[in-house]
């Protein structure tokens, strides 16, 4: 069997920062407690996981009842999403910012489509930041994959919506 199509990367960097104006709008709705993937320079919340305190090794009790934001490192997105799915019944909510042009890829088919409760396509496209500078002309659309606790393994296809957010 052939491997799924690879989504083209535009940089070797893995630390694209979520724009503050997008995070602010999402946070005002979901009221997050923790950022699952950040650094001291780009953390969106005072409580955050970083390379030093990795979410990938977080035990269930550590995230119990939390409302989480996640913009996963591109190269580790499948590992972060797998951990979200593994711990989903421990936290209250996880909202993950992921590429929305990758539905034919293994990571989307394994961790987003069968497990997300909701997929919210973002319009207009998100311009991320690198080193404090906005990266204009991002080549791919993004979405929010929302995960909540479940009583059963499969509920059916996730609900899909489009959110026309205010880009400033």
Per-residue pLDDT tens for 92-116? 999 999 999 888 899 999 999 999 9
Give alpha helix (H) positions in 31-140. Answer: 60-63, 77-87, 106-107
pLDDT number for residue 81: 96
Nearest alpha-carbon partner for 115 in 142, 81, 141: 81
Q: What pLDDT score was predicted for residue 12?
A: 58
What average pLDDT does this structure show over 49-53? 93
pLDDT at 14: 65
Mark 43-62 as b/e (b = at least 16 C-beta within 10 Å): bbbeebbbeeeebeebeeee
CA-derived radius of gyration, the chain: 15
Does pLDDT of 84 surpass 70?
Answer: yes
pLDDT in the model for residue 2: 41
Could you tell me what percent of the chain has a pLDDT over 70? 88
Classify domain 20-164 by CATH number: 3.40.50.150
Specify which residues 70 forms β-bridges with: 96
Task: Give the C-alpha separation, 165 to 142, whole Å.
Answer: 12
Q: Where are the domains of the chain?
A: 20-164
Residue pair 129/138 in contact (Cβ under 8 Å)? The answer is no
> What is the per-residue pLDDT for 156?
78
**28 or 101, higher pLDDT:** 28
């Amino acid at each position: 069997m052939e491997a799924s199509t690879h989504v083209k990367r535009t940089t070797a960097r893995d630390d694209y920062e979520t724009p503050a104006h997008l995070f602010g709008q999402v946070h005002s709705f979901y009221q997050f407690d923790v950022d699952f993937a950040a650094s001291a320079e780009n953390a969106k919340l005072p409580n955050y996981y970083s390379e030093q305190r990795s979410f990938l090794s977080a035990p269930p009790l550590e995230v119990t009842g939390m409302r989480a934001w996640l913009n996963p490192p591109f190269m580790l997105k499948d590992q972060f999403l797998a951990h979200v799915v593994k711990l989903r019944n421990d936290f209250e909510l996880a909202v993950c910012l992921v590429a929305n042009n990758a539905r034919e890829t293994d990571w989307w088919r394994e961790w987003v489509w069968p497990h997300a409760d909701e997929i919210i396509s973002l319009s207009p496209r998100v311009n991320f930041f690198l080193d404090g500078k906005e990266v204009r002309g991002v080549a791919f659309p993004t979405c929010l994959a929302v995960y909540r606790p479940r009583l059963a393994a499969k509920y059916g296809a996730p609900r899909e919506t489009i959110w026309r957010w205010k880009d400033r």
